[in-house]
Every structure is written in structure tokens, then in C-alpha cells.
């Protein structure tokens, strides 16, 4: 059975299809991430506990655990386990090690890389999706919704899509070398350059000038108006190299 898709329209007028990740891919990614965060959290706890037994002495005079043990061992252990997803999804721009291994990632409903706010909202709703245990609410929601979304995705306006390198055509598939360039703008520039020869000169000139006006503030409107299509192409290529 083919994966469900959502179709977006790019600036060139060409439809872009995002292939929605199914329950199997979603679950596979979660299981991998769950094992990784469990290992990380357990490792911190084990090392901290061994050190407390040895030289750090996190035991109080009466033999009970001291506040230092809670501060330096138990609190970080809980933090690693609870904040694994939101921190890594923000740092990895909608992905995690488990999602990469499963070939999926998070995007907005316009195909962009989600912002910090959306990712935090998505993770707050894990409290609901994880009810009553083993993510039964989230699993049921993903199974019976058309785009396989859980409550966190609905609240945050996100989708989990398949991220195959050979077939990925979403807006957020490329990371520009120029870090100051917006990821969606970089993606649109790549798409325009890929279809450059298929577009007529007037169309590529209009789209190229529009993109440059948004992404390269060093060019004045007068300079843009005088640029040839060859010059536009060269300038656009320079932005993403």
C-alpha cells in the first residue's frame, strides 16, 4: 500500500509531494530513540552512583543520600530522559538519531523545518499521547487519522514524513552552506536552478529576481532590474554554494 501524500505548490508552480510516514515508521523511530535515551540516562546514573560510592561521597552523615546526589546524579538523569526529544529535535532541525535511522523527519504543514515553538508544543503533548501507557493514545490517533498524526502533531501543525534521499522533494530537504540563508529560500533556489532550462526566460527572470530580492539585501532594486538572466543564475548559485 502506497504511503499517503500531501501536495504543496512551490514558487515555480510545480507540485511538491511529501510522503507521510506511517505508523510503522513512526513507531520504529520512537523505539530507537527510546533505547538511546534510556542508555544515556542509565549511563549517567550508573557513573554518578559509582562515583558517589567512591570519591565524591554523596552520602550524608546519617547514611541517607545527600542533596548533591539529587543535584548531580538524579536530576541530570531525569533531564536526559525527559528532554531528549525536544533538545535533539531543535538542534537537528526536526530530526533525532532514531528518526534518521528510520528515514523520517518532522516538517510543518507547508513543508518547512519546524520552529522551536512548534517542536516544544509537539513534545508537551507527549504527556497526552503517552496515555494511559506505551503511547496508546498517540498510536491510536496516528492509526486512524488520514495523515497519521498524533495529538502533538495536530497541536503543533507538523507532519512526520519519509525522508528518502533519492525521493525527498520537500521544501526543507536542503541545508544551505550559507547558514544565514533561510532553509526554505535555499530550497526554492535549488528548485529554480534545477528547472532553469525548462522555464522560459521571462519566467525564470521574474522568479530569480523575486528570490534575490528576498535573500540578498546587498542588491538594490535598480541593480536587480538591470541583471540579465545569466547574471541572476550566477548570483543565485553563489548564495547556496
Residue 31 sits in the same domain as residue 142: yes
Residue 12 sits in the same domain as residue 127: yes
Residue 150 sits in the same domain as residue 60: yes
Residue 14 sits in the same domain as residue 94: yes
Tens of pLDDT along the chain (241 residues)? 556 777 765 555 555 678 899 899 999 999 999 999 999 999 999 988 887 766 555 655 555 566 778 888 899 999 999 999 999 999 999 999 999 999 999 999 878 889 999 999 999 999 999 998 888 999 999 999 989 999 999 999 999 998 754 334 444 444 444 556 666 677 788 888 888 888 888 888 888 888 888 888 788 888 888 888 888 888 888 887 7
Name the residue range of residue 73's domain.
Answer: 5-162
Residue 194 sits in the same domain as residue 117: no
Domain annotation covers residue 200: yes
Is pTM beyond 0.85? Reply is: no
Residue 139 sits in the same domain as residue 198: no
Residue 107 sits in the same domain as residue 216: no
56, 176, 212, 214, 224 from 209: Cα distances, Å: 63, 19, 5, 9, 6
Number of domains in the chain: 2
Contact criterion met (CB below 8 Å) for 150 and 141: yes
Domain annotation covers residue 171: no
Amino acid at each position: 500500500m502506497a504511503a499517503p501524500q500531501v501536495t504543496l505548490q512551490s514558487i515555480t508552480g510545480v507540485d511538491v509531494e511529501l510522503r507521510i510516514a506511517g505508523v510503522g515508521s513512526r513507531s520504529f523511530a520512537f523505539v530507537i530513540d527510546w533505547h538511546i535515551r534510556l542508555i544515556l540516562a542509565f549511563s549517567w546514573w550508573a557513573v554518578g552512583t559509582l562515583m558517589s560510592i567512591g570519591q565524591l561521597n554523596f552520602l550524608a552523615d546519617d547514611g541517607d543520600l545527600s542533596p548533591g546526589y539529587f543535584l548531580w546524579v538524579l536530576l541530570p538523569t531525569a533531564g536526559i530522559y525527559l528532554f531528549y526529544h525536544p533538545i535533539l529535535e531543535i538542534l537537528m532541525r526536526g530530526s533525532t538519531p532514531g528518526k534518521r535511522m528510520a528515514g523520517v523527519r518532522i516538517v510543518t504543514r507547508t513543508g518547512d523545518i519546524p520552529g522551536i515553538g512548534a517542536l516544544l508544543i509537539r513534545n508537551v503533548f507527549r504527556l497526552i499521547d503517552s496515555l494511559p501507557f506505551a503511547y496508546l493514545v498517540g498510536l491510536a490517533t496516528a492509526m486512524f487519522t488520514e495523515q497519521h498524526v498524533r495529538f502533538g502533531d495536530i497541536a503543533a501543525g507538523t507532519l512526520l514524513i519519509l525522508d528518502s534521499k533519492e525521493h525527498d522533494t520537500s521544501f526543507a530537504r536542503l541545508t544551505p552552506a550559507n547558514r544565514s540563508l533561510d532553509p526554505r529560500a535555499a530550497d526554492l533556489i535549488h528548485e529554480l536552478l534545477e528547472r532553469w532550462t525548462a522555464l522560459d526566460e521571462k519566467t525564470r527572470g521574474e522568479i530569480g529576481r523575486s528570490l534575490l530580492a528576498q535573500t540578498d539585501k546587498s542588491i538594490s532594486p535598480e541593480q536587480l532590474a538591470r541583471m540579465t538572466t545569466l547574471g541572476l543564475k550566477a548570483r543565485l548559485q553563489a548564495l547556496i554554494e
